[in-house]
Copies of this chain bind each other. A is one copy, B any other.
Amino acid sequence: MATVRLWTDAEVAADARVRAVFDDIRATRKSDFVNNFWRALANQPDVLERTWSNLKAVMFAPGALDPLTRELVYIAVSAVNACPYCVHSHTAAARAKGMTDAQHAEFLSVVAMAMQTNALATALQVPVDPEFQAG
């Protein structure tokens, strides 16, 4: 179904550059499962390396936002961008990081709320209040 071929584990094993990224994915996530997104990116080693390197820094390093909050922001972006793959994979990731049903429900409420006020503000072309300007 993809516009490119998805790499099998055997193909990955036979390519040192791709295998190094897959090994790091498995080690970082502490799981043998590598999802289709990376198997599609394997066709473009430059993109694969840069994307994984960025993702690892942004989503796995300790920081000022807890891992679940980062996943919720990720799903929000993915839902607005209408990316089925991304919604599926990051909803699963949020659950793996402890998202409860109550949190999922509230998250959906906030996204739905933002969608409607976004459209209203745009349709009404509301000018930004000076109080909201930085500096």
Contacts and interface: CB of A to CB of B under 8 A. Distances in A.
B70 A106 contact: yes
Nearest to A93: B132
Q: Give chain A's interface secondary structure class.
A: helix
A99 to B, nearest CB: 9
B122 A112 contact: no
Given A105-B43, A106-B65, A112-B51, A1 B120 contact: no
Contact of A116 (B91, B103, B116, B127): B116
**What band does the interface of chain A fall in when counting residues whose beta carbon is under 8 Å from B?**
35 or more
B37 A5 contact: no
Nearest to A48: B105
A73 to B, nearest CB: 5
